[in-house]
Structures are given as structure tokens and as C-alpha cells.
Amino acid sequence: MASGSGRCPLPCFLKAIFVFTVAMACLEGVYGGITSVFVRSEWPSVDIPIENEVFAVPKGHNAPQQVHITQGDYDGRAMIVSWVTPDEPGSSTVRFEKSAKNYGLSAEGNVTNYTFYKYKSGYIHHCLLEGLEHGTKYYYKIGNGESAREFWFTTPPRIDPDASYKFGIIGDLGQTYNSLSTLEHYMMSGASAVLFVGDLSYADRYQYNDVGVRWDTWGRFVERSTAFQPWIWSAGNHEIEYMPHMGEVIPFKSFLHRYATPYLASESSSPLWYAIRHASAHIIVLSSYSPFVKYTPQWVWLREELKRVDREKTPWLIVLMHVPIYNSNEAHFMEGESMRAVFEEWFVRSRVDVVFAGHVHAYERSYRISNIQYNVSSGNCYPIPDKSAPVYITVGDGGNQEGLAGRFMDPQPEYSAFREASYGHSTLEIMNRTHALYHWNRNDDGKKVATDAFLLHNQYWASNQRRRKLKKNHSLREIVSQIATY
């Protein structure tokens, strides 16, 4: 895939980070953070017409289309390859080979189809490639004869606390010209996998047969990236598709048929919530639109999954969800409050590094804050600075047809560090067990502009180091008592 063009070399980047960090440090203690005054000129928020070449159907009878891959196991030695054949079931076989196009290996997948109103889906194939080697390029081939198509991917490095790895984070993508800009900019980032925070196609904005049709166009639209690198899926409200007037009442029907996830590998009972380990990161995917209160399957699963997290092996603990827990946009304000009440304490106790969400069509980043001392009678209802808390980042700005959420609460709340209503994507570049570089990149009329950036210190390793350093200081007792209260 496209790599690295226009990237700032590391020393220059670190300098930029330094300047930024100093700027941020000066801001600490000041009410609220930065509300960017940047106003972008956006393309109209309309979906790209179906005839456009970005949705082109591959040539050949029954040629595989909408190809996408995702991690297929807990530790990154398997990949699920999915695709659609439009005319007949055809073969569910994937032929593949390490570093060569001889395709000596093969795996057999399964095929499914569904209806949505009167739309009949194509034949949706999912095939699990297992026993792959870490950090290795594989070529793969699907389809038959003239219509066969070839792609490749690279497996993640083995689970290692110092494995460096670059993730992209995209949310609420849709299929407009703004979506295309986000996707193209993401593909120039040099990242190796996408953490997708929900709301894929926005096909539910259509009626009747067009819902299914727009899932198909979206699958072809994102194939330029999804066929070559794993996208880690989480579901948003636009995946629910509860449309009783059309006789469609099974939640997530299109999404679940089309997008497989490796949920069994993390002992989840639903494809909508699961976890994977990838390089030096443990990634937990939650479902904002499935039951999560105490005693529900998702709640029980998360409690157990957090016990499986081993920061000695995977120092970085990342949570994905659709609805942000901290959001100061007027759009979707407080919608994450119920999940905050249930899970925030776990995030703080588990020292989650960062929680990524979408849903709000703007960008926002929080300080490390928590509101876990709040209960119905404590009266302590404001978030307070908390070094053990995650950073909450909303990147629901992929560019879908609903447009930007431009109205922020005024004044900016104290928990909000930076916010801007523009389209874009983020990258998280893990360097080792202690340091990761984070960027939010705005799509600025053809250019990619790094707009918000900071150096993220690991919540487990960086603080252990801090503790080690602190031991040299005489005020140890005081510090230890502080840590204990977190």
C-alpha cells in the first residue's frame, strides 16, 4: 500500500511534539482546552453517485468484490478473508503463499446470503487463514479463471512488549467525497491496520432495496485498503438497521453477514464485542448498542477479558466503542453516560491507555480525567484530573453524508483538551513499551494536515518507571499514597 509520502522524519517530528507538549503543559490547570477556530470548506455531504469509478465492479463473470480482511485469532497468526460474489456462490477457497505468488497453500471458507426487504445479497464468503507466520507478507488469490483476483497482506509482528506498530483510527466513514478524502489520506499514512470505531456505510440512510445496494458500494469503495490490511471492526448505530416499516427488525443483519470478527478467540459470545492482541497492543472492542449493564453477557465478558490483559506482554491497552464517554459537542451529548457509569471505573483501574470512539462527526480529545467518585448521593459530579484514567478520543469525522457536527458546548468543559469540527483520521504509532506518537490528521482540501499531536506515555510501563525514579526521592511515602488512591 502507499507508504510514507510527506512524512516528517523522526527528529523533526519529535521537535514538533516537543513544542506541542510544552504548549500543552502550559495549558494544564487552565479551564478547558483548545477549540480550534479552523473552518474548512467541505465538499457537499452527499454520497458519491453509484456510477462513479470508486464503486467500479471488477471485470469478469462472478468476479470477487468487496474484499476485506480482519484479524482471525487472538494473537495475529490468522486472518479472515471476506468477499462477495454477485452471480453465483462460486468457490469459497483462498489460495495463498508466503512471499510468493505460487499459492501453494489453500483454505476453505463458508458462504452465506441474506435478504433485506426485497434486496437479495450476493454470496458472502468468509475464509479463515490459520497458522500464519508473524510479520510476514502473504499473497492471496480468490475467484476462478479469468475472474480471479490477487491481493496481499502482512501479518502483525509477534506479541512483544516493544513491538513498534502504527495503527490508523477511522470512524463514521460513509461514502461521500469527504469519505474518499479521508480514506486516501489514511492510505498515505503508512499505518498497517485500522481500528474502525463504527458506522461503516450509512446504507441505512436509504430505503428499501437501496440499503443493500449501498452496503455493496461501500464494500467496493473501501476495498482499496480493506483487501490489503486488517480493519478491526466495531459496530455503530448505523449498523443496527431496525426498519420495521420494511419488515426488517433483526438488529445488525447486514453488518453481521458481511463483516466477520474473531470473537470466539476471546471467548466472547457475540461478534459485536471481542478482543485481539496485535503486536504490543491489547485491543478491546465494545458494542455501544448491545446490553452492557451489570450481569449482561458483554459486562461479564469484559470483566473476564480485563483479567486476561497482560501488560508485560502487551503494554498498550486500547478500547474501541462507538459512542464517546466524554464529548462536549452538542451532537450526541450525554449519550455515552450510561456506559460511563458502568465501565469507567474499570477503565481507570485497568489503566487503559486510550479509548477511541466515533459517532460525533467532529474531532475531540480529553485530558486524563475521571468521574468515578460520582454516585447518586456523593454530589461530586464533575470529572477531575486522574493520572490513571485513559485519554478519550473521538474520531467520528470520517466524512459521511450527515455532515459535520459543528456546535460545541460553550464554554469548553475542563475535561476537553482539543476539539475541532473537520474531517480526518488519526494514527497511533507505538514505538516501544513506554512511548507512542499520536496524530490527528485533518483533511484539508486535498492536503493532509497533522493538526493535533502528542506523545502518549504508557499507563503501565511509563508509570512503573516513574515510580522507580521516585524511589530516589525522599518524598516517596507521599507519592506512594497518591498512587494508591488512583
Binding site for Fe ion (CB under 5 A): 199, 236-237, 359
Kindly list the distances between the CA atom of residue 316 and the CA atoms of 63, 95, 156, 290, in Å, as whole numbers in the listed order.
40, 34, 15, 25
Is the sign of the CA dihedral 429, 222, 157, 272 positive or negative?
Answer: positive
Give the one residue of 3, 269, 375, 482 binding ligand NAG; rule: CB under 6 A.
Answer: 375
Q: Which is nearer to ligand NAG, 33 or 262 (CB)?
A: 262
C-beta of 337: minimal distance to ligand NAG in Å? 17
Under the binding rule (CB under 6 A), the answer on residue 384 touching ligand NAG is no
Q: Which is nearer to ligand NAG, 82 or 201 (CB)?
A: 82
Question: Which of 464, 445, 320 lies closest to 390 in space, CA to CA?
Answer: 320
Q: Which is nearer to Fe ion, 63 or 173 (CB)?
A: 173
C-beta of 240: minimal distance to Fe ion in Å? 10
C-beta of 428: minimal distance to ligand NAG in Å? 14
Residue span binding ligand NAG (CB under 6 A) among the ranges 54-62, 108-116, 355-363, 438-446: 108-116
Q: Which is nearer to ligand NAG, 120 or 313 (CB)?
A: 120
Under the binding rule (CB under 6 A), the answer on residue 439 touching ligand NAG is no
C-beta of 395: minimal distance to Fe ion in Å? 12
Q: Which does 110 bind (CB under 5 to 8 A by kind): Fe ion, ligand NAG, none?
A: ligand NAG
Under the binding rule (CB under 6 A), the answer on residue 126 touching ligand NAG is yes
Provide the mask over 254-293, with x wherever binding to ligand NAG is found by CB under 6 A and - wherever it is not.
------x---------------------------------
C-beta of 191: minimal distance to ligand NAG in Å? 18
Give the one residue of 5, 41, 475, 485 binding ligand NAG; rule: CB under 6 A.
Answer: 475
C-beta of 478: minimal distance to ligand NAG in Å? 7
Q: Which does 236 bind (CB under 5 to 8 A by kind): ligand NAG, Fe ion, none?
A: Fe ion
Three-state SS sequence of the chain? CCCCCCCCCHHHHHHHHHHHHHHHHHHCCCCCCEECCCCCCCCCCCECCCCCHHHCCCCCCCCCEEEEEEECCCCCCCEEEEEEECCCCCCCEEEEEECCCCCCEEEECEEECCEECCEECCEEEEEEECCCCCCCEEEEEECCHHHCEEEEEECCCCCCCCCCEEEEEECCCCCEHHHHHHHHHHHCCCCCEEEECCCCCCHHHCCCHHHHHHHHHHHHHHHHHHCCCCEECCCCHHHCCCEHHHCECCCCHHHHHHCCCCHHHHCCCCCCCEEEEECCEEEEECCCCCCCCCCCHHHHHHHHHHHHCCCCCCCEEEEECCCCCCCCECCCCCCCHHHHHHHHHHHHHCCCCEEEECCCCCEEEECCEECCCCCCCCCCCCCEECCCCCEEEEECCCCCCCCCCCCECCCCCCCEEEEECCCEEEEEEECCCCEEEEEEEEEECCEEEEEEEEEEECCCHHHHHHHHHHCCCCCHHHHHHHHHHC
Q: Is 332 a catalytic residue?
A: yes
Distance in angstroms (rounded) separating the CA atoms of residues 158 and 107 = 22
Q: Which is nearer to Fe ion, 232 or 348 (CB)?
A: 232
Q: Which is nearer to Fe ion, 123 or 255 (CB)?
A: 255
Q: Which does 373 bind (CB under 5 to 8 A by kind): ligand NAG, Fe ion, none?
A: ligand NAG
Under the binding rule (CB under 6 A), the answer on residue 373 touching ligand NAG is yes
Q: Which does 199 bind (CB under 5 to 8 A by kind): ligand NAG, Fe ion, none?
A: Fe ion
Provide the mask over 204-233, with x wherever binding to ligand NAG is found by CB under 6 A and - wherever it is not.
------------------------------
Residue span binding ligand NAG (CB under 6 A) among the ranges 55-63, 185-193, 377-385, 395-403: 377-385
Q: Which is nearer to ligand NAG, 72 or 358 (CB)?
A: 72
Kindly list the distances between the CA atom of residue 312 and the CA atoms of 160, 184, 238, 317, in Å, as whole numbers in the listed order.
9, 36, 37, 11
State the catalytic residue, choosing from 68, 125, 238, 332.
Answer: 332
Under the binding rule (CB under 6 A), the answer on residue 321 touching ligand NAG is no
Under the binding rule (CB under 6 A), the answer on residue 435 touching ligand NAG is yes
Under the binding rule (CB under 6 A), the answer on residue 432 touching ligand NAG is yes
Q: Which of the residues are catalytic?
A: 332
**Binding residues for ligand NAG, per CB under 6 A?**
80, 109-110, 113-115, 120, 126, 128, 260, 373, 375, 377-378, 380, 431-435, 473, 475
